[in-house]
Amino acid sequence: MDVRGTIDTIYRIESPRLIAGLARMTRDVGVAEELAQEALVVALERWPESGVPDNPGAWLMQTAKHRAIDHLRKQKLVERKHAELDQPVTAQLDVDKLDDDIGDDLLRLVFTCCHPVLAPEARVALTLRMLGGLTTPEIARAFLVPEPTIAQRIVRAKRTLTDEQVPFEVPRGGELGERLSSVLAVIYLIFNEGYSATSGDDWLRPALCEDALRLGRVVAGLMPDAPEVHGLVALMEIQASRARARVSPTGEPILLLDQNRAKWDHLAIARGLKSLARAEQLGGARGPYALQAATAACHARARRAEDTDWARIAALYGELAQVAPSPVVELNRAVAVGMADGPAAGLAIVDAIANEKAMASYHLLPTVRADFLAKLGRIPEARRELERAATMTHNVRERELLLARARDLVDGDG
């Protein structure tokens, strides 16, 4: 068995909860991450010989907790913290729940990392690192910016939180509303990394989608009258409903129009449509997440791919481009316009954003462009675009899919 790979996978899954629990203990996000990584080092030393424990998350937490005690002792805080840290972790959580109506370390971690003392881009990057367990390259791809930029943001953000002594807590009152938009952005980026992994051997990382959905639902319960919260939950529910249909039994990606819609989770779709209706009832139909949820709902309501209301989707992306303009939104609008009005119309939109700096390493642009070129009979150009896209993605499954599509074009052209 590949013990190192197993340990890496376990840490990837457990690290957000581990860091969140340690941050509550130490009141320092940077220290919490260091302690979690120290526990990982111990696991790498011991587990290859002793075997993976039955409850690896608890083992890592216990190991990290001992190091937290040592850290607090060095900081001369042991007298105040030792009694708390010597209690079982579950007992600490129970005590916290008595004092907090949320009782969720992960949510506290999100709001702490989204504190206004940090720049918006730093809040998102730090939370993705701490909560999502994402690596610096993965976060860089999510932001479409260079890796060193993300690394600097994370280091500076942790230092700022420590220097400013930001409390590890969920804000209340007016401050809660002020920080909500940043939190929602973080949650959705985490969901997206789970929904279409930027790297690795798997196209889906369901644990990240589940964490994002859970946090979204918690925030919706906390702020039931905030329409964009319900819009985000609706979007994630409807997108997550396709999970079983998005990969083959052997893990190959299956594109939306090729999916077996009988495999879609119709209970999740119903939950999403209910959340979308709630957002619209609250006057949030034109919110960025509600608009995206409305486009997802168009797909969800179509019994067959050919029944999709592409004109409606194109119009929704047009509204989204006004509310939250970005090259990625334009690329999505291009797909819808291409389906509604023909590939030439879609290609014109893609070519208009092809030189945008943010799209320079975005593999979906040449992917979409290749689809339009193929439909227009420009096969050699389409093949080159698919091969170019394959060099730009870091996800193994997606690269294989793109190269297979390029080979199919070779067969069709030959």
In a domain, 381, yes or no: yes
| Domain that includes residue 412, residue range | 361-414
In a domain, 388, yes or no: yes
In a domain, 177, yes or no: no
C-alpha to C-alpha distance for 385 and 347, rounded to whole angstroms: 13
In a domain, 377, yes or no: yes
In a domain, 176, yes or no: no
pLDDT class for 75, splitting at 50, 70, 90? low
> Is residue 20 helix, strand or coil?
helix
Question: Please, where are the H alpha helices in 223-251?
Answer: 227-240
Handedness of CA 244, 246, 248, 253 (dihedral sign): negative
In a domain, 58, yes or no: no
Whether the per-residue pLDDT at 1 is higher than 80: the answer is no
C-alpha to C-alpha distance for 206 and 194, rounded to whole angstroms: 6
Average pLDDT of the chain to the nearest whole number: 85
Where b means 16+ CB within 10 Å and e means fewer, 231-244 reads bbbbbbbbbbbbbe
The owner of tokens 């401050």 is 175
Q: Of 270 and 119, which is predicted with more confidence?
A: 270
pLDDT digits (tens, 9 = 90+) for 352-365: 999 998 898 899 99
pLDDT digits (tens, 9 = 90+) for 11-24: 878 888 888 888 88
In a domain, 296, yes or no: no
Give the least confident one: 55-59, 103-107, 293-297, 358-362.
103-107
Count of domains observed in the chain: 1
The owner of tokens 């039994």 is 249
C-alpha to C-alpha distance for 280 and 227, rounded to whole angstroms: 7
Can you read off the two tokens belonging to residue 410? 């070779």
pLDDT digits (tens, 9 = 90+) for 111-167: 898 888 998 889 888 987 887 777 888 788 766 678 999 999 999 999 999 999 888
Q: Is 125 exposed, middle or buried (0-12, 13-18, 19+ CB in 10 A)?
A: buried
Whether the per-residue pLDDT at 76 is higher than 80: the answer is no
Residues 44-60: what's their mean pLDDT?
Answer: 88
- DSSP states of 290-324: HHHHHHHHHHHH-SSGGG--HHHHHHHHHHHHHHS
C-alpha to C-alpha distance for 88 and 114, rounded to whole angstroms: 29
Whether the per-residue pLDDT at 321 is higher than 90: the answer is yes
pLDDT digits (tens, 9 = 90+) for 204-231: 677 778 878 988 988 888 789 999 999 9
In a domain, 400, yes or no: yes
Give the least confident one: 66-75, 98-107, 277-286, 402-411.
98-107
Phi, psi torsion values for 247, nearest 5 degrees: -135, 150
Share of the chain above pLDDT 90, in %: 43
Whether the per-residue pLDDT at 277 is higher than 90: the answer is yes
